[in-house]
Chain A
């Protein structure tokens, strides 16, 4: 029977759509539920800084407007599909031929224009408030330099240089201390994206960019490079540590110190200083001043190595020096071809860089 077939297929379709909508709701619930439990999910709907929060609030407006449009248009579509399908026992005559209607056309032109106008104004306001925010006197300045495939962070006012793990102070309303970033690139395009703190901004060679964050809560915020930059784009991970003001000052003071030296690891230090390591890495207070790779002066103050690809443990560090490609294939650090004894010595030396 044609009719029952149609009815069945329409019913199946309606059921499918219902399942999809239920899936969406479930997904939304999981997203929000999960973010409430754990800060390790970098959800854009769980903002913890003014730029991310302004975006979140704009997104709620956009989502509600689009949801209303969806419900209206989808209902019209569903109604036409159900109501105007050809019925069983159709007389075979053509339906009334309607060619159009100027009034209706005018209505569905003017109403969308008004909606667009409202959305545009709301959007323009947020653009202005995020992009043209003035820099207050207490702000921290950081220069972030994107490299294949790691992050260099320089604090020009504090004399601190570090890599991959950005430390910033928490900013509260009574005593705002936002962090203003200048974004540069040493090679290809990259993008700085920590979803809970701000939208992304690209790091483009010959094209300095700017962005700012003012995290309201201490803690660790995860992100990663969001513009394809080469083989190991995927493991150009980004960690932002939001410290209390005291913690941050303590951290900055420690980072400013030259590297500690320890006679017990003298052999490792000598190997490091006399091999190609120094061409790329800097350790302040020593002859190593390379800038192609991360600054290692306080390597042990970082939780991860290889731009977040692995936890900073002695075993991982040793494995990384032995063969970087094993941990992060395509990384630009060469395997140094050290024998086991030298490898142990260099690892032991690096372990002292606190």
Chain B
């Protein structure tokens, strides 16, 4: 175990010209720099996707509004969904994984540093390619030639008969390119975690974050591959006269749905399992207790990983499967509530009897628990197929999955930013701004997504650029739009806090949270080589053992 570092000349980067330092960031294969690049890139797209969401909400603030045209609205929701899933949520979880995994398992870099760089740049260029579409057509004002087929691009809307020009090609190619990047990153995660752990760190002593990212990596390999295959099939349809999804030539629209959701459902867990990972690191530290039921948490995660591969057709309850098919997917969908419930109870068990410190990361994690509980319960409603025949493709579903993705994933990611920012930047964030961020975002989130369930129950379908007055939808849409603006204000506070931290933050020290995992044993920010001496561990909480030699964990594990 080493907390001292060796002073190297290379660390003294401040003296070199800015062009050289930027060049370093472009050619780097260091997991910490690549992790930060992922995060910055994702934050840029978060702002873009947020602007798209805000524009849609302004359009829907009153019925028969004409803030944007139907064509622009359809492009906005397609770009919003595609951006937020593939170019915000994925890079955010990959960014934290890339930054943290080597530090937490006590090694000096990822298993394949060059693949790591390639994965990031493929993802980055995928996003840029998608946004190039804005430059075509009628220009930025009309959202150019941006895709307008929805983020799951159901066939045959993507066939050339219904999608002439190149808008769907931008969508397909962007996801193809970034998908290859994701698979590369996942291969890297799995290999690193399985092969590069420091001496003493058996699988049973890995931090939960490493375990959960291992499962996530496996899911990415299994889920993103079919998506990539489907994109190739779509390109063959569009350019080589194939008929996979071309219904006018006997192709199958339902085949595309299967391909997409075989990716799409595990994808939810690809995003939420890292969110669980952040919660599983943050909640114990600020409750001052080890995670409750570590082996059960690992088992539940692996179970979720496996079951999540068998639930995809619950996105397709309305496409006319027979009753046996529907019944099977009800069962597999509801079963997944069991390991998910176990995780929630174990987090509660961790807080139970602790001394909870309400720092910004912990506040975001407690809000996550509350919101993820509700998201899980609305998920059970949607999993009951007949109820789903009413709720699917309505605003209820939109509210449900935003509860998962924003209320679950984005909240823990904000928590993760505040938790590891002192490590990444070496500086402590502004605590007042962090609280403002939390409360604005929390209130905005609930104004938006609590009330968004209701128009769905009242029959409002998703993806409509306008709606009829007199159906009882007006007041809810108004509240939802106001909530969106409050959330936007919260994100602005967050971004200003990041900038504030970078310029004005107090030095954070190596271990500001009195935490227990290996990343806190090195300097903030860590040196290029992470650890001067590769650590040796004897338990799941190596820093606890050092801080409490009289009562070390390895006696009890």
Contact = CB atoms under 8 A, between A and B. Distances in A.
B348 A77 contact: yes
A210 interface: yes
A76 B341 CA distance: 13
B293 to A, nearest CB: 4
B392 interface: yes
B319 A202 contact: yes
Interface string B456-481: 01110111111110111001100000
A42 B354 CA distance: 49
Interface in B353-402: 353-358, 366, 369-370, 373-374, 377-378, 380-381, 384-394
A84 B459 contact: no
Interface stretch (A223-231, A259-267, A271-279, A283-291): A223-231
Contacts, number: 301
B458 A42 contact: yes
Interface stretch (B192-200, B229-237, B326-334): B326-334
A322 interface: no
A231 B253 contact: no
Contacts of A76: 348
Contacts of B394: 226
Given A16-B443, A86-B357, A228-B154, A112 B337 contact: yes
A175 interface: no
Contact of A99 (B442, B457, B468, B557): B557
Contacts of A27: 451, 454, 476
A43 B319 CA distance: 22
A315 interface: no
Nearest to A235: B466
Given A62-B380, A228-B154, A98 B459 contact: no
A40 B474 CA distance: 14
Interface stretch (B283-291, B413-421, B484-492): B283-291
Interface stretch (A116-124, A138-146, A158-166, A293-301): A116-124
A267 B451 CA distance: 55
A9 B454 CA distance: 29
Contacts of B472: 31, 34-35, 38, 41, 43
Contacts of B462: 228
Nearest to A194: B459
Q: Which of A42, A205, A229 has the most CB of B within 10 A?
A: A205
Nearest to A9: B358
Interface residues of B, number: 102
A74 B370 contact: yes
A207 B252 contact: yes
Contact of A124 (B250, B254, B330): B330
A51 to B, nearest CB: 8
B69 interface: yes
A130 B317 CA distance: 13
B381 A66 contact: yes
A188 B246 CA distance: 10
Contact of A127 (B294, B323, B335, B366): B323
Contacts of A113: 338
Contacts of A223: 459
Contact of B459 (A81, A105, A132, A222): A222
Contacts of B551: 97
A128 B450 CA distance: 32
A66 B393 contact: no
A209 interface: yes
B338 A330 contact: no
Given A84-B355, A123-B385, A193-B459, A100 B296 contact: yes
A349 B98 CA distance: 70
Contacts of A40: 470-471
B389 A199 contact: yes
B356 A84 contact: yes
A89 interface: no
B150 interface: yes
A85 interface: yes
A98 B353 contact: yes
Given A66-B380, A109-B342, A126-B386, A31 B458 contact: yes
A345 interface: no
B503 interface: no
Interface string A79-112: 0110011110010001111111100110011001
Given A105-B293, A204-B254, A226 B320 contact: no
A206 B248 CA distance: 8
Q: Which of A195, A201, A210 has the most CB of B within 10 A?
A: A195
A69 B380 CA distance: 11
Given A76-B348, A81-B351, A94-B288, 4 more contacts: A27-B476, A98-B289, A98-B353, A127-B386
18 contacts: A23-B450, A35-B472, A41-B458, A42-B459, A44-B459, A52-B390, A66-B380, A80-B351, A90-B355, A97-B290, A108-B342, A116-B337, A131-B322, A191-B318, A199-B318, A204-B254, A226-B394, A234-B466
Interface of B: 69-71, 74, 148, 150, 154, 156-157, 162, 247-248, 250-254, 287-290, 292-296, 318-320, 322-323, 326-327, 330-331, 334-335, 337-338, 341-342, 344-346, 348-349, 351-358, 366, 369-370, 373-374, 377-378, 380-381, 384-394, 435, 442-443, 446, 450-451, 454, 457-459, 461-468, 470-472, 475-476, 548, 551, 553, 556-557
